[in-house]
Chains A and B, each alone.
Chain A
Amino acid sequence: MIFKIVNKDDLRSLFESFHEEIEFVGPKLVETKADGKPIYHYLPVDSLDELVLDYDTTEYSAKTYFIPYRETLSSYEFKEKDWEQEIKYRIQPRVIFGLHACDINALLKLDVVFAKDFYPNPYYLSRRKNTFTIGIACNTPCKDGFCKSLGMDTVSRGFDLFLTDLGDRYFVKIGSDRAFNALQKIKTQDISEIDKKDYLTTRLRFKEENQTNVSIENLPNLLDIEFESEVWKKWGDKCLSCGSCAMVCPTCYCYGVSERVSMDFESGKKIKQLYSCNLLDFAMVAGGHNFRPNRETRLKYRYYHQHRGFVESFGQPLCVGCNRCGRVCLSGINPPDVINDLQTEYVK
């Protein structure tokens, strides 16, 4: 990894120089809650002034820029009794500014599924390769985020640039050749001993402030043993099967495919739409049989996929510990509580 020190104003001028010609996405203040807490979203910005880089967390993850909620897989032109299929991939470049470590780690996990596994997905790859990703280190830990427990509070790849705020300057990790070349346009310095010390102090302070701990020890095995546990009934009874958790999750990628026809019957589209395993018909098959008809089995499945299944398949949990699902849940199903419940069940 190549590290550099960049002056804040220099970096700003670099990106200001071309934000006219390229779409810029970053954390933006959209609303303030009744209790005065600001709500941020990753949204396209018109000017760099709109970016709020010292945000704690966003309501939604940035996955929509890589696996959109709704995407056209192919389109059809109908003529007479025949049809023609057409496939397009999104190739417009985009810059995402200010992703936290958890969101970049989430992208790395999506890479495993969509870019590295069987049948690499061109829709995802095209978006990923055409997105210039700039991460920024968290300054203050978000409430309930358990990224530290999962080791997801730091990131060493999967980005073009990763910034750490050192007051007047940024400590920059360079993750790609295109980022390296871009930085040639402005003044950069090699890191000094003082910079290194400042950087490590900042990271250490963050680790100390980040107090949320979830015991993920032995979790895959534990989930297997506790398959019939009462814990699932307890939390499953609360679940409204609304699918909000999957919507805000940075790694939930399950989807469904459906087709639409234009009003004049001249064209049609095959559409991929993100889904949630908590929705009632997720595991429904032809003839109406549902393999997971109960709320608790569907909720359980979500945890199984994230913390057991994915570990089995790819050697790492799918969860990054951002706890967006816990915050958004209407009935207060909080993953740290669910996991801790399971752990205590085990001890009992």
Chain B
Amino acid sequence: MKILTHPYDIKQDEDMMQPLDFNRRSRLKHVDKTYKSLITNIIRLTEMEKLFQIRIIDDADRERFSFLPGQFLMLEVPGYGEIPVSISSSPSSKGYLELCIRKAGIVTGALHKAKRGAFVGIRGPFGTYFPMEQMKGHNIMLIAGGLGLAPLRSPVQYVIENRVDYKDVSILYGAKHPDQLLFNYQYEEWHRIDDIELDIIVEKPDENWKGPVGMITKLLKNLNISPDTTYAIVCGPPVMFKFVCGALNQMGIPMQRMFISLERRMHCGMGKCCRCNIGSTYTCIDGPVFDFWTVMNLKEAI
């Protein structure tokens, strides 16, 4: 009975032989194959966060790894686990990636102990992205709370590289303590070289803090914006979205022009494991970037 017993080897499937490309969907692939990557440098940003510069080892894979600002990847530390991480580097650098990671659990704990030269695995990129093309010719407001600056750094870099395409660009950033501010070595450059207006607020100032004190919404109060030509990108803890986007909506920015990046604990990144589901919406496929109107219609989203 050859007909029944002849094993079908999925590895021999024609599609399977094509190079892995997660941006081309609906093709049979080794979905759990990781790109082996080298940690080339580790930069301590704050007490809890480090920036990892990693490089996909294989030259062809590195070139093929193209992503758009807002997409995320799955980072695996073999033996420890796999986590979703947003990409903090510019899309033009492709497989040379920068990931800002807070020490929060097993995998991130292992990463924080790792040294330069360690190997990790990555899969991706996954998910939706900020519509940077659509935003061209407009003002952009990037609003971040706490660790929210990590996924925002990718669109910031994109804007910097294509500065001519965008009008006024501003970053509003709020953190608890002044020593929790991420990427503070870049603020001067962003402001003086790249003509980005930067407003930073902290909740609990120390003796050296000279800037404003309070919640991020306080920065919105004395803001002068032209709602017809402004896009907003908002990223931060869930509680922030309602207040910030609500306030922006009051100012007249349409909900479809406010983009939010949601956080969930994905286990696959491909719309299979359901761990990131909001109702039926997969944060990994339909998100993580949503416009505010979509988020308003998702129950339990924020």
Indicate if the CB atoms of B108 and A286 lie closer than 8 Å: yes
Interface stretch, picked from B22-30, B155-163, B212-220, is: B22-30
Q: Which residues of A contact B138 (CB under 8 A)?
A: none
Q: Which residues of A contact B277 (CB under 8 A)?
A: 301, 305, 309
Q: A257-B82, A268-B79 are in contact. Are A91 and B7 (CB under 8 A)?
A: yes
Bound complex: CA of A83 vs CA of B8, how far in Å? 29
> Is the C-beta of A259 less than 8 angstroms from some C-beta in chain B?
yes
> Is the C-beta of B117 less than 8 angstroms from some C-beta in chain A?
yes
Distance in angstroms from B105 CB to nearest chain A CB is 6
> Is the C-beta of B242 less than 8 angstroms from some C-beta in chain A?
no
Q: How large is the interface on A (under 10, 10 to 19, 20 to 34, 35 or more residues)?
A: 35 or more
Q: Which residues of B contact A130 (CB under 8 A)?
A: 7-8
> Is the C-beta of A120 less than 8 angstroms from some C-beta in chain B?
yes
The residue in chain A whose Cβ has the minimal distance to the Cβ of B27 is: A120
Q: A17-B1, A82-B119 are in contact. Are A255 and B273 (CB under 8 A)?
A: yes
Bound complex: CA of A91 vs CA of B102, how far in Å? 41
Indicate if the CB atoms of A313 and B280 lie closer than 8 Å: yes
> Is the C-beta of B211 less than 8 angstroms from some C-beta in chain A?
no
Indicate if the CB atoms of A89 and B10 lie closer than 8 Å: yes
The residue in chain B whose Cβ has the minimal distance to the Cβ of A314 is: B280
Q: A18-B4, A119-B29 are in contact. Are A258 and B81 (CB under 8 A)?
A: yes
Bound complex: CA of A117 vs CA of B79, how far in Å? 30
Provide the A91-135 mask, 1 if CB < 8 A to any CB of B, else 0.
Answer: 111010000000000000000011001111110011001101000
Q: Which residues of A contact B280 (CB under 8 A)?
A: 304-305, 308-310, 312-313
> Is the C-beta of B94 less than 8 angstroms from some C-beta in chain A?
no
Bound complex: CA of A336 vs CA of B155, how far in Å? 49
Distance in angstroms from A126 CB to nearest chain B CB is 4
Indicate if the CB atoms of B272 and A255 lie closer than 8 Å: yes
Indicate if the CB atoms of B4 and A270 lie closer than 8 Å: no
> Is the C-beta of B118 less than 8 angstroms from some C-beta in chain A?
yes
The residue in chain A whose Cβ has the minimal distance to the Cβ of B104 is: A286
Provide the A242-275 mask, 1 if CB < 8 A to any CB of B, else 0.
Answer: 0000000000011111110100000010101001
Q: Which residues of B contact A74 (CB under 8 A)?
A: 32-34
Indicate if the CB atoms of A268 and B78 lie closer than 8 Å: yes
> Is the C-beta of B76 less than 8 angstroms from some C-beta in chain A?
yes
Distance in angstroms from A227 CB to nearest chain B CB is 6
Interface stretch, picked from A38-46, A210-218, A276-284, is: A276-284
Q: A89-B10, A121-B31 are in contact. Are A182 and B119 (CB under 8 A)?
A: no
Q: Which residues of B contact A305 (CB under 8 A)?
A: 274, 277, 279-280
The residue in chain B whose Cβ has the minimal distance to the Cβ of A285 is: B265
Bound complex: CA of A308 vs CA of B279, how far in Å? 8
Q: Which residues of A contact B263 (CB under 8 A)?
A: 285-286
- 7 more A-B residue pairs beyond the given contacts A117-B26, A283-B275, A286-B265, with a C-beta to C-beta distance below 8 A: A119-B26, A126-B9, A268-B79, A270-B32, A270-B78, A291-B300, A308-B280
Q: List 14 A-B contacts (CB under 8 A).
A: A18-B1, A78-B78, A85-B78, A91-B8, A118-B271, A119-B26, A257-B273, A282-B275, A283-B265, A291-B264, A291-B278, A291-B300, A305-B279, A313-B280
Q: Which 8 A-B pairs have the closest CB atoms?
A: A309-B280, A254-B274, A18-B1, A119-B270, A126-B10, A286-B104, A268-B79, A91-B7
Interface residues of A (CB under 8 A from B): 17-18, 21-22, 73-74, 76, 78, 81-83, 85, 87, 89, 91-93, 95, 113-114, 117-122, 125-126, 129-130, 132, 178, 181-182, 185, 227, 253-259, 261, 268, 270, 272, 275, 277, 282-287, 289, 291-292, 297, 301, 304-305, 308-310, 312-313
Interface residues of B (CB under 8 A from A): 1, 3-11, 16, 22, 25-34, 36, 76, 78-83, 102, 104-105, 108, 117-119, 121, 238, 263-265, 267-268, 270-275, 277-281, 285, 299-300
